[in-house]
Chains A and B, each alone.
Chain A
């Protein structure tokens, strides 16, 4: 079946502009995660959802970053007033998700959105 999709694949914006990054998870997956990956580094957690509920946003670097998943499927990560330091690969992942307790599910990643802030 279809995997996780993200759009756009590449986004170039000017400093100060707002950007919205979209993630469409694998159909039926309850959990959705956002990570950010700087060049030469591993992905770092930003936030995650179970259904439409944001469970953990401890990785969002500041209040310019926000995410939503209003219908429990597609999610949008929004960065307001972008800065050059926001340039990175933004990765989305989804997993089946289990009700309650700690999930051992595999997270499946999308292709990522490469954000460049000029």
Chain B
């Protein structure tokens, strides 16, 4: 069965420092991977996705993610964190043979000024 794991419940980083939010996946076949962000009292917003091609994917708000097949990881990164990046981040994988997304449990990012 397909799954994703987000090993950190919370990540704390100082404003201006680089940030990484971790995600590992388990799928049979080629993985289609997504990152979403959830701000308080708002819906899930799409950040970026990996389907095929370049392992470094660039997305919204300066975020990027690196697909690593050998480590089965898809970590979300940003070179310089902003306080406004503080939110809940979800990694997801498309179910093989279907269209539903399978989400991780989420990582809360806290950026301190």
Chain A residues close to B by CB (< 8 Å): 3-4, 31, 33, 35, 40-45, 48, 55-56, 59, 91, 93, 95, 102-104, 106-112
Q: How far is the CA of A59 from the CA of B95 in the complex (A)?
A: 13
Contact with A along B31-44 (1 / 0, CB 8 A): 01010100000111
Are the CB atoms of B97 and A102 closer together than 8 Å? yes
Are the CB atoms of A43 and B99 closer together than 8 Å? no
Minimum CB–CB distance from B100 to chain A (whole Å) comes to: 4
Are the CB atoms of B100 and A45 closer together than 8 Å? yes
Name A44's contact: one of B51, B96, B97, B103 (CB within 8 Å).
Answer: B103
Beyond A4-B43, A104-B32, A106-B34, whether A43 also contacts B101 by CB under 8 A is yes
Q: How far is the CA of A109 from the CA of B47 in the complex (A)?
A: 12
Are the CB atoms of B99 and A56 closer together than 8 Å? yes
Chain B residues close to A by CB (< 8 Å): 32, 34, 36, 42-46, 49, 51, 90, 92, 94-106
Beyond A107-B101, A109-B36, whether A43 also contacts B94 by CB under 8 A is no
Are the CB atoms of B49 and A106 closer together than 8 Å? yes
CB contacts (< 8 Å) of B34 on chain A: these are: 106-107
Give the top 5 A-B pairs by smallest Cβ distance, nearest first: A42-B103, A45-B100, A109-B44, A111-B43, A109-B43
CB contacts (< 8 Å) of A33 on chain B: these are: 99-101
CB contacts (< 8 Å) of B105 on chain A: these are: 40-42
Are the CB atoms of A59 and B104 closer together than 8 Å? no
- Enumerate 28 A-B pairs (CB-CB under 8 Å) in ascending A order: A4-B43, A33-B100, A33-B101, A40-B106, A41-B105, A42-B90, A42-B92, A42-B105, A43-B90, A43-B101, A43-B103, A45-B100, A45-B101, A56-B98, A56-B100, A95-B99, A102-B94, A102-B96, A102-B97, A103-B99, A104-B32, A104-B51, A107-B46, A109-B43, A109-B45, A110-B43, A111-B42, A112-B43
